[in-house]
């Protein structure tokens, strides 16, 4: 039988070693949210399941029945001994509270924490993104936000709702398009949370194509819901390009900002470009990168043939080698995403021909960018942990937000709310 101290240390160890529990089981997420929110008045939303999680782990290591009192004592011990060893802890006495929906790996969270905010609820259903999120922020996101039981964990009285929700077409039944017309889409769940929780401000992000999606009907319906059905002041959405905020990536996204009518806010200006010029060279690895990122001669030849064939037909398909003094294309996780930002790098000094099904490594030094370089293109600092495979890392950074652009806009929001 392990003594109590060892047993409790095992609880904390198992939290970071066991596989993520399926989204329908919220105990693990509740535990991590409770540990990091016990001082800010929202712990009541997580305590019941946090206790049950601790009881479950204690029961696995004991033949005796674990009482609620013992679980409570263990939970308090864990809080007291929480070392905050995560790379990105929140401010001890935050200036405002926010929630992070469709969180991915925490781009929104990183930006708003940098401004003095505290995230009090987060949701994300991809298990690999959850792993990255946990490694960097300590918390395990809740799962499927479309489920009522998940929404029940969202605390009251937070200030800003953040959501990079997926773009979906609406079935517009009426002439105008309103709240009911968005049912069955993920925006409906965002709107439902706004309606119930009434945050002071909202900050939504989406792909640039939202503006023209379904001939403009999708964006029009979103604005109708936010303005007319929910009563928020929502200025005209703006296309923000990441390259204008200090990262060498041509990434345009639409930002939608709104303020609750009770704030009295009826004007808002999106941030002006910082004019901080950066180029690809600023994000490239300083040391020689692994041979695995260099393309094979066979593959390079195939890319060239594809590009020539498509260009002859007037199409823009093909790879692209970005010059060191240039700006990268938007990083995306699908299709030819990685081939759109190739690098010409002649630092491969330990070159050894690799003969395999795809041919040997090319001698020209053409390679893919590394996951860390993609992280830098999105404005993630170098101490942001990458704890998944390369394939998952590319997907995660490709799906994430450009942190500096999010932070610049969030700063304007917080200034309007008079927290700064």
Q: What is the percent of the chain where pLDDT is above 90?
A: 50
Give pLDDT, residue 210: 87
Give pLDDT, residue 13: 37
Using pLDDT thresholds of 50, 70 and 90, give the confidence band for residue 116.
very high
Give pLDDT, residue 359: 55
Give pLDDT, residue 217: 85
Give pLDDT, residue 79: 75
**CA pair distance 370, 139, nearest whole angstrom:** 26
Kindly report, as residue ranges, where domains of CATH 3.40.50.150 are found in the chain: 96-274+400-416
Q: Could you read off the pLDDT of 89-98 as tens digits, one per residue? A: 988 889 999 9
Q: Could you read off the pLDDT of 226-272 as tens digits, one per residue? A: 999 999 999 999 999 999 999 999 999 999 999 999 999 999 999 99
Give pLDDT, residue 17: 31
Using pLDDT thresholds of 50, 70 and 90, give the confidence band for residue 22.
very low
Give pLDDT, residue 297: 83
Give pLDDT, residue 171: 58
Give pLDDT, residue 150: 93
Q: If you average pLDDT over residues 372-399, what whole number do you get?
A: 95
Cβ atoms of 249 and 283 closer than 8 Å: no
3-class SS letters over the chain:
CCCHHHHHHHHHHHHCCCCCCCCCCCHHHHHHHHHHHCCCCCHHHCHHHHHHHHHHHHHHCCCCCCCHHHHHHHHHHHHHCCCCCCCCCCCCCCCEEEEEECCCCCHHHHHHHHCCEEEEEEECCCHHHHHHHHHHHCCCCECCCCCHHHHCCCCCCCCEEEECCCCCCCCCCCCCCCHHHHCCCHHHHHHHHHHHHCCCEEEEEEEHHHHCHHHHHHHHHHHHHHHHHCCCECCCCEEEEHHHHCCCEECEEEEEEEECHHHCCCCCCCCCCCCCCCCHHHHCCCCCCCHHHECEHHHHHHHHHHHHHHHHCCCCCCCCECCCCCCEECCCCCCCHHHHHEEECCCCCCCCCCCCCCCCECCCCEECCCHHHHHHHCCCCCCCCCCCCHHHHHHHHHHCCCHHHHHHHHHHHHHHCCCC
- Asked if pLDDT for residue 188 goes beyond 50, the answer is yes
Give pLDDT, residue 339: 86
Give pLDDT, residue 348: 65
**CA pair distance 253, 243, nearest whole angstrom:** 11
Give pLDDT, residue 418: 82
- Asked if pLDDT for residue 3 goes beyond 60, the answer is no
Q: Could you read off the pLDDT of 133-152 as tens digits, one per residue? A: 999 999 999 998 999 999 99
Least confident of 73-82, 168-177, 239-248, 360-369: 168-177
Closest-CA residue to 321 (of 345, 299, 301, 302): 345
- Asked if pLDDT for residue 6 goes beyond 50, the answer is no
119 is catalytic: no
Give pLDDT, residue 329: 93
- Asked if pLDDT for residue 99 goes beyond 90, the answer is yes
Q: If you average pLDDT over residues 31-59, what whole number do you get?
A: 84
Q: If you average pLDDT over residues 286-297, what whole number do you get?
A: 87
| Of 412 and 85, more confident | 412
Q: Which of 26-30, 298-302, 401-405 has the highest mean pLDDT?
A: 401-405
**CA pair distance 280, 303, nearest whole angstrom:** 22
| Of 208 and 38, more confident | 208
Q: If you average pLDDT over residues 40-46, what whole number do you get?
A: 82
119, 162, 167, 333: which one is catalytic? 167
Helix 27-37 vs helix 68-80: crossing angle, to nearest 10: 50
User: What does pLDDT average to over the chain?
Assistant: 84
Q: How far is CA 279 from CA 86, 119, 243, 310, in A?
A: 30, 32, 9, 28
Give pLDDT, residue 213: 81
Give pLDDT, residue 1: 28
Question: What is the domain class of 96-274+400-416 according to CATH?
Answer: alpha beta
Q: How far is CA 25 from CA 4, 48, 138, 143, 208, in A?
A: 26, 13, 18, 8, 35
Give pLDDT, residue 166: 77
Cβ atoms of 26 and 125 closer than 8 Å: no
Q: Which of 300-304, 311-315, 397-401 has the highest mean pLDDT?
A: 397-401
Give pLDDT, residue 356: 46
Q: How many other C-beta atoms can be found within 10 angstroms of the C-beta atom of residue 375? A: 23
If you search the block for the tokens 């529990």, which residue do you land on? Answer: 21
Cβ atoms of 166 and 185 closer than 8 Å: no
């Amino acid at each position: 039988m392990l003594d109590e101290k060892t047993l409790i240390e095992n609880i904390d160890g198992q939290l970071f070693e066991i596989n993520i529990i399926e989204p329908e089981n919220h105990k693990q997420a509740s535990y991590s949210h409770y540990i990091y929110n016990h001082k800010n008045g929202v712990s009541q939303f997580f305590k019941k399941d946090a206790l049950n999680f601790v009881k479950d782990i204690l029961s696995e290591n004991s033949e005796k029945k674990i009482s609620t009192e013992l679980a409570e004592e263990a939970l308090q011990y864990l809080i007291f001994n929480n070392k905050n060893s995560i790379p990105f802890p929140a401010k001890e006495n935050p200036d405002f509270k926010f929630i992070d929906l469709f969180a991915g790996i925490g781009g929104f969270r990183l930006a708003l924490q940098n401004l003095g905010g505290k995230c009090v609820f987060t949701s994300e259903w991809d298990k690999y993104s959850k792993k990255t999120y946990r490694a960097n922020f300590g918390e395990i996101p809740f799962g499927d936000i479309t489920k009522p039981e998940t929404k029940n964990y969202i605390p009251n009285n937070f200030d800003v709702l953040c959501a990079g929700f997926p773009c979906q077409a609406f079935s517009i039944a009426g002439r105008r398009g309103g709240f009911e017309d968005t049912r069955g889409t993920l925006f409906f769940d965002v709107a439902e949370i706004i309606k119930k929780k009434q945050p002071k401000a909202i900050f939504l992000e989406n792909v640039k194509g939202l503006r023209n999606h379904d001939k403009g009907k999708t964006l029009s319906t979103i604005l109708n819901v936010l303005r007319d059905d929910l009563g928020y002041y929502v200025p005209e959405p703006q296309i923000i390009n990441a390259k204008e905020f200090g990262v060498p990536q041509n990434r345009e996204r639409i930002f939608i900002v709104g303020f609750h009518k009770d704030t009295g806010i009826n004007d808002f200006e999106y941030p002006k470009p910082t004019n901080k010029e950066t180029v690809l060279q600023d994000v490239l690895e300083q040391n020689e990168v692994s041979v695995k990122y260099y393309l094979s001669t066979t593959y390079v030849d195939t890319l060239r043939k594809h590009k020539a064939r498509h260009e002859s037909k007037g199409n823009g398909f093909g790879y692209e080698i970005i010059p060191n003094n240039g700006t990268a294309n938007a990083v995306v996780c699908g299709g030819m995403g990685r081939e759109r930002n190739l690098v010409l790098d002649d630092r491969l000094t330990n070159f050894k021909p690799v003969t395999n099904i795809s041919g040997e490594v090319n001698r020209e030094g053409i390679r893919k960018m590394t996951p860390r370089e993609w992280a830098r293109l999105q404005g993630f600092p170098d101490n942001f942990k990458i704890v998944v495979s390369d394939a998952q890392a590319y997907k995660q950074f490709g799906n994430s937000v450009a942190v500096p652009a999010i932070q610049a806009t969030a700063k304007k929001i917080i200034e309007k709310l008079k927290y700064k």
